[in-house]
A = this chain, B = another copy of it.
Amino acid sequence: MKFELTILGSGSSVPTANRNSAAQVLNVLERYFLIDCAEATQHQLRRFHLPYNKISHIFISHLHGDHFFGLMGFLSTLSLQGRRGEMHIYADPRLQELVECQMRITRSRLGYPLCFHALSRQEEVIYEDKVVTVTAFPLKHRYEAPVCGFLFREKERERTIVKEQAEAWKVPIAFMQYLKQGADFITPTGEVVPNERLTVAPPPARSYAYMTDTLYRPCFADYVKGVDLLYHEATYQNKEIALAKETRHSTAGQAALLARTAGVGKLLLGHFSARYTDLTDLLAEARDVFSNTFLCSDGYRFELPALKRNV
């Protein structure tokens, strides 16, 4: 029942001795989603003992090198290690062009199929399975590299039947499915048994959103309203707000404003400019606005536990 994020790179465009560029892995019930893939992401996956051969879905926010230069190496290593299963890549459609161009020029091929899914410039569900949906939504960075954020949301699960109660009330097996979906039970004598007496609610569905390389726009909070965990870039501090605007990034203070407006559970900051060796002020500025804020480092793991619901 895990819902766990591992940060592989907490730095920005230039990797430093302590921080690699952007990449992270979200484990949702043993589905491993790779989000961005900077150079040396395969090294970080190995370093932090992630089962990288289980990754089948890669989400690339935009086509700046610090978010995708590790892709070819990672794909190539998987091929050399005998992978056969499909790999799905969600990205700017130009990434497909780029990968195909590289394979053509170098006369190389992978031992498994790549399935590209082009991100559009509107909010849309780009992946869905039994337990999770992934939504992409457009943010605002630079002309040459349109950028998307990603929202991973667990699906609401069915209610769990309290076996002793269901037996006591002699609920027929054929009705169990309706119980799970929240229906009340009506006995043959017409007595109504409220669903809450026969079932318990599932743990609340968990959610995680990834927003990087974007100008601050208050309206972006609408995309991530109420998510449990938000990762937001904080390339600069507020005192560099002019630089943030010029380079089309956000400050820590702006990330916190967005988190507060969206009413998220917890805010993680990353994508720090290499100029900062001490992030104390950056964190303080964010916590002034949104107290439940934390700094990411490479290897940082955050698990969202499956909480019991009070119903």
Q: Which stretch from A39-47, A158-166, A169-177, A254-262 is at the chain B interface?
A: A39-47
Tell me the complex Cα distance, A43–B101, Å.
26
How far, in Å, is A34 (CB) from chain B's closest CB? Answer: 16
Across-interface contacts of A111 in B (CB, < 8 A)? none
B contact residues around A270 at 8 Å (CB)? none
Chain B's closest residue to A107 (CB) is B144
On whether the beta carbons of B106 and A98 are closer than 8 Å, the reply is: yes
Q: Which of A65-73, A112-120, A195-203 contacts B (4 or more CB under 8 A)?
A: A65-73
Contact size range, A: 35 or more
Residues of chain B within 8 A (CB-CB) of A13 are 76-77, 80
Q: Is A145 an interface residue (CB 8 A)?
A: yes
CB <8 Å contact, B69 and A73: yes
Which of chain B's residues has its CB closest to A144's CB?
Answer: B107
> A40 to chain B: closest CB distance in Å?
4
Determine the chain B residues whose CB is within 8 A of the CB of A43 once the complex forms: 15, 20, 39-40, 43
Binary CB contact string for chain A from 92 to 117 against chain B (1 if under 8 A, 0 otherwise):
00100110011001111000000000
A63 contacts which chain B residues (CB < 8 A)?
A: 105-106
User: How distant is the Cα of A150 from the Cα of B124 in the complex, in angstroms?
Assistant: 52
Q: Which residues of A contact B (CB under 8 A)?
A: 13-17, 20, 39-40, 42-43, 46-47, 63-66, 69-70, 72-73, 76-77, 80-81, 94, 97-98, 101-102, 105-108, 143-145
